[in-house]
Structure 1
Amino acid sequence: MEKLNLENVKVSLIIPTLDAAGYMPALVSILDKQTRKPDEIIVIDSESEDATVRMAEQAGYRTLKVKRCDFDHGGTRNYAVAMSRGDIVMFLSQDALPSDEYYVENMLKGFANEEVVMISARQLPRKNAKPDEALVREFNYPADSFVRSKEDIPRLGIKAYFFSDVCSAYRRDFFDEIGGFESPLLTNEDMLMAARALAADHKIGYCAEAKVYHSHNYTFKQQYKRNFDVAVFMETYKDEIKSEGTTGEGIRMVLFIEKQLLKKFKIGAAVHCVFDSAAKFLGNRAGRKWKRNNA
């Protein structure tokens, strides 16, 4: 990859939205305070029925529109990237709120390593996060930054591919070289991109200094559906994402969460975690079985 001049590099921030008016005021406020402001902010909206587009335009953001029925995690993002002009392309989910004014500045620092082509940020739980959901964030998003390469796959297993477009940044030359995101794609376009980056001998960064508040209080039914979809994805791309150890990593996370909850005598939360984990496990099993039967 060509060396970037981080002082002069152009940054495009892309935010996919759908009925995001409730998130916009806080998001606009913190983005306006960034010490390193993006050169452009693009909102790509899927037919919101609220004031999302109007609020984005009032903030000075560029707006793109796609039909809700045509939204695709890979293709919609590819379209936004094609319409952008940044040397670094950042993605931020509508419900991900940067924790401070240094978010963009900190994300860019990771590209000082010329071998790093994509970076994800640290996710912190929102104040209303359930106790077990808060601990999921602690388990998956450590306080120390790191870089990983293809050589780390045997050691890290499935974690080597762990990446999230909730809060991410890509070098544009890499993005173009790799052909953008797979499309159409139901979910996990970010994880597949990570796998392809590692396969192409690039490196992936995790920036713990760049932080966003982001968490979900899913119902058991929602967890089942989400993990069903992820399992279908994993089975579809099993030749690119070596998923041995997925179950073991899940068990390690559950044991970590249960230990922390019981230590704090949060018995109700510990019980909730058991049922939540069961929903994830059953969804995963069903998704893999469905894909194998419909291959």
Structure 2
Amino acid sequence: MAPLVTVVIPVKNGESRLGECLASVFSQKADFDFEVLCVDSGSTDGSLSIIQSSGARLLQIPPAEFGHGRTRNFAIAHCRSEFVAMLTQDAVPNDDRWLAELIQPMRDNDKVAGVFGRHLPHPGCNPSEAYMLDAHFRAFGEQVTLYRIAPGLEGWAEYESRRGWYQFFSDNNAALRRSVWERIPYRDVEFMEDQLWASDILEAGYIKAYAPNAAVRHSHDYSLATVLRRAFDEARFRREYCDPGDLPGARALAVQALRDAGRDLRRLARDQAYSTKDRLELAPYIVGRHLAQSAGRFLGDRFELMPETAVRRLSQHHELKGDVAAALPRSPVLRGAVREAVRRSMQTHGKLNTATLGLRKSIWAVGGRGGRGGVGERVCHNRG
């Protein structure tokens, strides 16, 4: 008899947290049967041994065949279950009710096609990342929440105006209904396959759900260079696939970065988990992180103005595929790309001001070193 749920985990060199992830998955308490399927794309560490000793099913593909949407489609095609839960190798279910909580909205409502859960920071995570995760997921609510496009032109207008909010979906911690996936699979794209899938199901008339009690520990302590590159990729792909409208200028991004950094620093000052010495050591990183995010977004929004070589070097996606050297390009290449983007932006938007110049300097410095909106219809269900 087929299990009700298959937990799919793409893997590559994930031994640092994979064992913990699998142990937590296999400890789940649910009133249904489930299985675990790992798809490995060329691990050279101990990941294969961890998978084989855990009892999970294993599929293997060559590294060159990996794609975020493509590989997940491949895995789901090998599932026999009605529902498929999606994890990543560094996302650890927070308790033994994670899977039951994640699947329940689809068991309760046949129109729910996908569910995503909360992310919590790993122990020892930097406070800026921890604060961001807390604010981001708290905004979705503290009870099971359903999202759909409201009927009529007003509903579609609301959806288009707040597409980023509607389409948020993270297959680091998510589940989908396999029968819907058969009609609407993941797109074979380089990035944002999960959020594009959420848009596709909403536009097809299905419902997306948020399950806050289905929590995983999933966070990263990125260098400032990596923060910039990830923000670049996110802005680039959002621009390419979602057309987010008017581009925020460098001044607006710089002001927002400093405002967000100030908010984090005030919270850090009240956080009793950190000593005064810790706070002083963490403060520069927190400010730098927000500036790097804004710098990456500024560049990613304007990727079409850059030479292809600069885009490839700034993109972390190409690094993961092995297309370019792993290190962030040093100042000459990055500065050249920034100068060109800023020059063309000035031609369009006019003279740069002091804040713009400050943001541009922050971009150069990182290179040298290496909204919430409303919804058209939101229905809350509290299951206690």
**TM range, smaller chain:** 0.7 to 0.9
Q: State the match for 2:179 in structure 1.
A: 173
* 1:137 matches 2:114: no
SS in 2 for 1:226: helix
Asked whether the equivalents of residues 158 and 246 of structure 1 are also in contact (C-alpha less than 8 Å), the reply is no
- Relative distance call for 1:268 and 1:75 in structure 2 (3 A) is same
Residue 71 of structure 1, aligned match among 35, 48, 66 = 66
Q: State the match for 1:119 in structure 2.
A: 115
**Cα distance in 1 for residues equivalent to 2:147 and 2:100:** 21
* 1:159 matches 2:165: yes
Asked whether the equivalents of residues 257 and 294 of structure 2 are also in contact (C-alpha less than 8 Å), the reply is no
SS in 2 for 1:223: helix
Using structure 1 for the length normalisation, give the TM-score: 0.86
Q: State the match for 2:192 in structure 1.
A: 188
- Point out the structure with max Rg over C-alpha: 2
**Cα distance in 2 for residues equivalent to 1:226 and 1:48:** 23
- Taking every aligned residue pair, what percent have the same amino acid on both sides? 25
Q: State the Cα distance separating 1:153 from its structure 2 match.
A: 3.0
Q: State the match for 1:128 in structure 2.
A: 124
Residue 283 of structure 1, aligned match among 296, 303, 308 = 296
- Relative distance call for 1:197 and 1:253 in structure 2 (3 A) is farther
In structure 2, list runs of 5 or more residues that go unmatched.
151-157, 270-278, 309-384
Asked whether the equivalents of residues 253 and 294 of structure 2 are also in contact (C-alpha less than 8 Å), the reply is no
Residue 218 of structure 1, aligned match among 214, 217, 222 = 222
Q: State the match for 1:5 in structure 2.
A: none
Q: State the Cα distance separating 1:290 from its structure 2 match.
A: 1.9
Q: State the match for 1:104 in structure 2.
A: 99
Asked whether the equivalents of residues 130 and 217 of structure 1 are also in contact (C-alpha less than 8 Å), the reply is yes
Asked whether the equivalents of residues 228 and 285 of structure 1 are also in contact (C-alpha less than 8 Å), the reply is yes
Q: State the Cα distance separating 1:261 from its structure 2 match.
A: 3.0
- Relative distance call for 1:26 and 1:9 in structure 2 (3 A) is closer
Residue 35 of structure 1, aligned match among 11, 22, 29 = 29
**Cα distance in 1 for residues equivalent to 2:132 and 2:245:** 20
Asked whether the equivalents of residues 8 and 37 of structure 2 are also in contact (C-alpha less than 8 Å), the reply is yes
Q: State the match for 1:4 in structure 2.
A: none
Q: Which moved more, 1:263-272 or 1:205-214?
A: 263-272
Q: State the Cα distance separating 1:256 from its structure 2 match.
A: 5.7
- Relative distance call for 1:14 and 1:246 in structure 2 (3 A) is farther
Q: How big is the alpha-carbon RMSD for the aligned residues of Structure 1 and Structure 2?
A: 2.7
Q: State the match for 1:51 in structure 2.
A: 46
- Relative distance call for 1:156 and 1:175 in structure 2 (3 A) is same
SS in 1 for 2:68: coil
- Relative distance call for 1:27 and 1:73 in structure 2 (3 A) is same
- Relative distance call for 1:285 and 1:38 in structure 2 (3 A) is farther
1:207-243 Cα deviation digits (max 9, x unpaired): 101110010011111011111111221121125xx46
Q: State the match for 1:205 in structure 2.
A: 209
Q: Which amino acid aligns with 1:164?
A: S
**Cα distance in 2 for residues equivalent to 1:276 and 1:175:** 37
**Cα distance in 2 for residues equivalent to 1:167 and 1:250:** 31
Q: Which amino acid aligns with 1:25?
A: G
Q: Which amino acid aligns with 2:71?
A: T
* 1:18 matches 2:22: no
In structure 1, list runs of 5 or more residues that go unmatched.
1-7
**Cα distance in 2 for residues equivalent to 1:253 and 1:119:** 31
- Relative distance call for 1:257 and 1:134 in structure 2 (3 A) is farther
Asked whether the equivalents of residues 265 and 286 of structure 2 are also in contact (C-alpha less than 8 Å), the reply is no
1:126-166 Cα deviation digits (max 9, x unpaired): 11210111001101112613111123636855222111000
**Cα distance in 1 for residues equivalent to 2:166 and 2:280:** 33
- Relative distance call for 1:109 and 1:253 in structure 2 (3 A) is farther
**Cα distance in 1 for residues equivalent to 2:230 and 2:238:** 12
SS in 2 for 1:237: helix
SS in 1 for 2:159: helix
Q: Which amino acid aligns with 2:101?
A: N
Asked whether the equivalents of residues 258 and 291 of structure 2 are also in contact (C-alpha less than 8 Å), the reply is no
